[in-house]
Chains A and B, each alone.
Chain A
């Protein structure tokens, strides 16, 4: 009997990790470097190199110690390799939800369920701001943010995916296994996902890419019937679909997966103390997801380092932060 029990969170009693870091940008990758060096079992869950602010920056010239221009993705890759070299594990996955109330923290990804004694939130601020008309009303009635969960409801039907990141294209690719037709609406003329991935999607039967297509509205009476989208050349058009999977990005802190477990400010950011602790014990936050944060890679990295030391202090029951100095 194939029950697919891997990663059901059952393999081990107790927490699987000492710390789980959600988001592997400069903030999360640096935190991982420090927690791994402190010999804490560290898991970083990240959506993909090209889905964060540093990952999409073409050139960065003000990161100390790096002379000349380097692409954000290259710099980030170096940070991740450094963290990995000290034992941190990176997993490409999206965190969909968390349970942070209990002492053991549970993190739900698409590929599994993970537990840890502490969590660092470093998801950045590329979340969507405004939703399109009809989106909230039709959530669960054809509007979805999780293709792996909901694809089965759209067998043989026509669906749309809105987004241009690795994540959007991967979800669109997954949907081609179920839906008859998958329309990928990229808000930009060029997709941000790697060209091979876009090509793989476009070569599937029923896959259609619409470059530079802005999702305007989701329509339907009790369930999704149409979407409206606009392109520069063709203006607004209506497309009959029974499902729309939305992975658009914007400039808001990414906190949706918290589902109200931590309070966010009016502008959607997280509030922490000087050691980057949130009001929930064992839960820390760093980087662009924070309020009053200066949006610079070096600042995000520095915050990650401090938070990692604060996690170490808590898990090892210290009174003060222990600095990480070579002996």
Chain B
């Protein structure tokens, strides 16, 4: 799958002089992977070349094929223009939440409304330095899908413990993320999540 992902990215990059691809080897370039917070492959980080390197932002794990190809293209647009289209209220709420926030959105390439869930997470990552948001192609990472007990997509997983089913609207996701600011509730969620890990 890594070879296919590289080919796909090179094809996309050849479409515009504004795009470039750098390919790294997960083992040989472990330091680079760590800088970008990448812990599995194939992985794509969509970044601006003029922005500092960070371990947060827009990531895609697994080849963005099928419906997820549209996510990749939209990601490039979002990263490039910064035109995120989030509500003012979302930005305020995001600002008030404690970080770091790690959002993983599990998808399959045949899921027509999964890109919506991924792009919402990616928008949040671009809106705030404390958010890291990744698409995870569930069939390419079965061990992860298993760990989070994903049997339906899209599933949005925030900091391991908040699980949201379906492509929910922005305000609903923000509502679910409020728990991040509620230590006792978060503690309970974490306990339940750890009890379920076997």
Cβ-defined contact, B113 with A96, below 8 A: yes
B167 contacts the other chain (Cβ, under 8 Å)? yes
Contact at B65–A140, with CB atoms within 8 Å?
no
A222 touches B111 (CB 8 A): no
Contacts of B150 in A (CB 8 A): 140, 153
Q: How far is the CA of A146 from the CA of B115 in the complex (A)?
A: 15
Within 8 A of B (CB), among A260-300: 260-261
Contact with B along A1-26 (1 / 0, CB 8 A): 10111001110000000000000000
How far is B17's CA from A223's CA once the two chains are assembled, in angstroms?
48
Asked if A260 contacts B172 (CB within 8 A), the reply is: yes
Residues on A with C-beta less than 8 A from B166 are: 97, 140, 259
Given contacts A140-B152, A259-B167, contact A8 B67 (CB under 8 A): yes
Partner of A97, one of B4, B116, B165: B116
A222–B149 touching, CB < 8 Å: yes
Q: How many residues of B contact A (CB 8 A)?
A: 36
Min Cβ gap A193→B in Å is: 22
Q: In the complex, are the beta carbons of B155 and A96 less than 8 A apart?
A: no
Q: How far is the CA of A108 from the CA of B166 in the complex (A)?
A: 13
B79 CB–A CB distance under 8 Å: no
Residue of B nearest to A261 (CB): B169
Quick check: B169 and A149 within 8 Å, CB to CB? no
A202 contacts B by Cβ under 8 Å: no
Q: Are B73 and A10 in contact (CB under 8 A)?
A: yes
A96-B112 in contact (CB<8A):
yes
Are A150 and B66 closer than 8 Å at their CB atoms?
A: no
**Interface size, chain A (Cβ < 8 Å):** 40
B residues less than 8 Å from A150 (CB atoms): 108, 111, 151-153
Q: Which of A97-118 contact B (CB under 8 A)?
A: 97, 99, 101-102, 108-113
A174 to B152, CA, bound (A): 16
Q: Are A140 and B113 in contact (CB under 8 A)?
A: no
Q: Which residues of B contact A224 (CB under 8 A)?
A: 151
Cβ–Cβ contact A108 & B113, under 8 A: yes
B155 & A140 in contact (Cβ 8 Å cutoff): yes
CB proximity to A under 8 Å, residues B136-159 = 138-139, 145, 149-153, 155
* A243, B151: Cβ atoms closer than 8 Å: yes
Contact flag A259-B169 (CB < 8 Å), given A3-B66, A113-B112: yes
* Alpha-carbon gap, A203 to B196, bound state (A): 40
Residues of chain B with a CB closer than 8 A to A143's CB = 152
Cα distance A17–B70 when bound, in Å? 19
- Measured between beta carbons, the chain B residues less than 8 angstroms from A154 are 151
Residues of B within 8 A of A96 (CB): 112-113
- Closest B residue to A243 by beta carbon equals B151
Are A1 and B4 in contact (CB-based, < 8 A)? yes
A window 122-179: CB within 8 A of B: 139-144, 146, 148-154
A5 and B108 alpha carbons, distance in the complex (Å): 14
B165 touches A153 (CB 8 A): no
Interface centre among A111, A150, A260, A261 (most CB of B within 10 A): A150
Instruction: List the 6 closest pairs (A to B, CB-CB), nearest first.
Output: A140-B165, A149-B111, A140-B152, A97-B113, A108-B113, A8-B70
**Chain A residues in contact with chain B, CB under 8 A?**
1, 3-5, 8-10, 96-97, 99, 101-102, 108-113, 139-144, 146, 148-154, 222-224, 242-243, 259-261
Given contacts A113-B115, A149-B108, 12 further A-B contacts (CB under 8 A): A3-B8, A8-B69, A10-B69, A96-B113, A108-B167, A113-B112, A139-B165, A141-B151, A141-B152, A143-B152, A150-B108, A259-B166
